[in-house]
Structure 1
Amino acid sequence: MIRISRRRWTGAIAAAVVTVWLGACGSFGNDYTFSQSQLQSALEHKFPFSKRYLELFDIQLSNPRLTLDPARNRVNLQFDATVDNKLFFRQALAGRFALDSGLRYDAQSHSVVLQDPEVRQFDVQGLPGQFSRQINALGGIVAEQFLQGYALYTFRPDQLRLAGSDVEPGTITVLSDGINVKINRP
């Protein structure tokens, strides 16, 4: 009769669970594929996003909408935007903010983050004409300073450990229906 220690039995069950889980996530040991809906859901948990700029403008981005651009290997993000400045506006101004961005893996945060976001649209309704240039510049600053490196998806520790070894994401490819992240093995 073969005896298996409790430790080996627990390890075998854990390995089986990880294998089943990875299959369900679209991972086959060499990569992860996250669907657009998984990414959208992860993104929704991180918003609304609020920042104050120069102690003058309060900016809030909410209701993120993610689309994928595989031809350019970039993601497109649209938000509802609110800009408030009690000195210049009677009430907060609402509009739309859209950008596209590349992606990279940030090892420190264990996240797929925005890389070099570029503003495509920043329209604010009811904006007095004298402020339109400043608000458009503000949109570029929001993208470059506040959203550069913003986490789109953060890996759980168990996702970065396969077969008892630490792994690190590598090449990120935007697909028509999701994002594929290759895994670099040690």
Structure 2
Amino acid sequence: MRRPLHLSAAAVLLLVVTACTSLGVVSAWLNDQVAFTTPQLQRQLDTRFPRTFDKLGGLVSVTLDNPHLTIPQGNRRLRLDFDLGVGGVAADDRPGRLSLVSGLRYDPATRGLHLEDPELLQFDLPGSNALLKGGARGIVNSLLSEYARSEPVYRLDDDLLSKLPSGKRIGNVEITDGRVVVHLAR
């Protein structure tokens, strides 16, 4: 007799957990916004790196690895730090560092949050002479622009987008209180 009672209790618990999860998404959209935390964004970034980009017809390759996303308190831009590798003529095998700050925007074509106006903060290439470093900086800036245009930092999942209230669309994106907040618009 006890076995069916345990199964029904487990089934009820599963239904409650599922309902709470769905309710959280729906209530977020009912408030015309949904917020993402740094760990949520970081988890998605971790699955997409390392990434290697070929530039100048393959003469130079840039590898970005170990992304680390932070949202500094009181700031309206997020910070991304990467290990940086540059391959090609006169390149050094030791990793460098790349740091940038950026706002975010929503792109309906990719259903993702993309960098907006990224600004390079730190660019270190060990063993590089000044000329290579200056040329590499230009390549990295071009890479950042390309990445911001085509690659999302975070992709909104189909389940979340399917729960958009009727007549609403994704509006502006802001970074506030250590979170990324996506607002809805008509």
With normalisation by structure 2, the TM-score equals: 0.78
- Is the alpha carbon distance of 1:163 and 1:105 closer, same or farther for their aligned partners in structure 2, counting shifts above 3 Å? closer
Bigger shift: 159-168 or 66-75? 159-168
Q: Deviations over 1:94-127 (max 9, x none)?
A: 2000111111110111111111211111101111
Q: By percentage of residues, which structure has more strand?
A: 1
The answer for unaligned runs of 5 or more in structure 1 is 1-13
Q: Identity over the aligned pairs, expressed in percent?
A: 27
In the TM superposition, residue 75 of structure 1 has moved relative to its aligned partner by 1.1
Query: Hey, what does 1:75 align to over in structure 2?
Result: 78
1:24 deviation in Å?
6.4
2:132 aligned partner: 131
Cα distance, 1:166 vs. partner? 6.8
TM-score by structure 1 length? 0.78
Counterparts in 2 of 1:163 and 1:35: CA distance versus 1, 3 Å: closer
CA–CA distance in structure 2, aligned partners of residues 48 and 99 of structure 1: 17
Residue correspondence of structure 1 range 9-158 to structure 2 within 5 A:
17=18, 20-23=21-24, 27-29=28-30, 30-54=32-56, 55-69=58-72, 71-85=74-88, 87-89=89-91, 91-158=92-159
Please state whether the residue corresponding to 1:83 is helix, strand or coil. strand
Letter matched to residue 39 of structure 2 = S
State the alpha-carbon separation in 1 of the partners of residues 98 and 166 from structure 2: 41
Give the helix-richer structure, 1 or 2.
2
In the alignment of these two chains, the number of paired residues is 169
Query: Structure 1 residues 164 and 143 mapped into 2: Cα distance closer, same or farther (>3 Å)?
Result: closer
Structure 1 match to 2:7: none
1:112-155 Cα offsets, whole Å, 9 max, x none, are 11112111111011113431211222221221223344201111
State the alpha-carbon separation in 2 of the partners of residues 24 and 159 from structure 1.
7
Any unmatched runs of 5+ in structure 2? 1-14
Q: CA deviation at 1:73?
A: 2.0
1:124 and 1:166 map into 2 onto residues whose CA distance is 49
8 Å CA contact 2:99–2:121 kept in 1: the answer is: yes
Residue 6 of structure 2 aligns with which residue? none
Between the aligned partners of 2:174 and 2:104, the Cα distance in structure 1 is 8
8 Å CA contact 1:73, 1:102 repeated in 2 = yes
Measured against aligned partners, the alpha-carbon deviations of 1:140-174 in whole angstroms (never above 9, x if no partner) come to 12212233442011112221123774742212121
